[in-house]
Amino acid sequence: MPVRNVAAGLAVKESIVAKIPVARIDVLELDLSSMASVRRFASEFESLNLPLNILINNAGVLTRNHTCSCDGLELHFATNHIGHFLLTNLLLENMKSTCRDSGTEGRIVNVTSVGHAMMTYPEGICFDKIHDPSGLNDFIAYCQSKLANILHSNELSRIFKEEGVNISANAVHPGVIMTNIFRDRTIVGAFFNTIGRIICRRVEQGAATTCYVAMHPQVKGISGKYFADCNISSPSLQASDAELAKKLWQFSLQTLSS
């Protein structure tokens, strides 16, 4: 379990083991907004010598006031995309060797949002705002990062097919869920704490599509798709733009090396 709050992660581990005594769970610290933290986590994970069959990139932040990460990147993009991009790249060799040794398909699931189709720039990703987010609307920044999640999945899928690697990569919209993602937004948070309890899904319901894409035999061999409600769905035209996906991939690599 990669967690930002280790104490909370250990509490969750205890609750799981109480229900499933044979479960083996390792809790490692990971802050996806920090490249140094991602690299440290990947190193610690590799030291455990564990196989890696499934990677679910699930972190998501929605903040305000044009916040930047410790690496000087727009925080939504840094956490929701770059952190996952770096983590995936660092763990890929493990996944490749695991699928070769086990003969079992590896699966990467990027958790996105239907927001990717609602509030983005005409060009999809506003690359010049990543290092200078001044004037960037926070909701658009969030939706832009969710668009990046789908483009990341699509380009991963293309590369895997080109290389003949037995790993799938898909994106998932879990639905509108009752989480604390709006904790930094008082009015919106208050709305979701009241009306949201009626119209939103519970966390368990929201996890259904993610678990389906990560585990179900019916999804075997399916890659480069966008899922919602446990079915293949249609993302926005921007999310289906292969050239934009390649451009984002190169921009992300350059960001990691700068």
Lowest mean pLDDT among 45-59, 84-98, 125-139: 125-139
Candidate list 121, 142, 212, 226, residue with the active-site label: 142
Distance from C-alpha of 7 to C-alpha of 12, rounded to nearest angstrom: 9
Average pLDDT score over the chain = 89
Indicate if 142 belongs to the active site. yes
pLDDT of residue 136: 79
**Cβ partners under 8 Å of residue 251, min gap 6:** 125, 127, 130
Q: What is the pLDDT of residues 158-206, one digit of tens each?
A: 999 999 999 999 999 986 655 555 455 555 555 555 555 555 656 677 7
pLDDT digits (tens, 9 = 90+) for 113-122: 888 878 788 8
How many Å apart are CA 145 and CA 212, to the nearest integer? 23
Model's pTM, two decimal places? 0.88
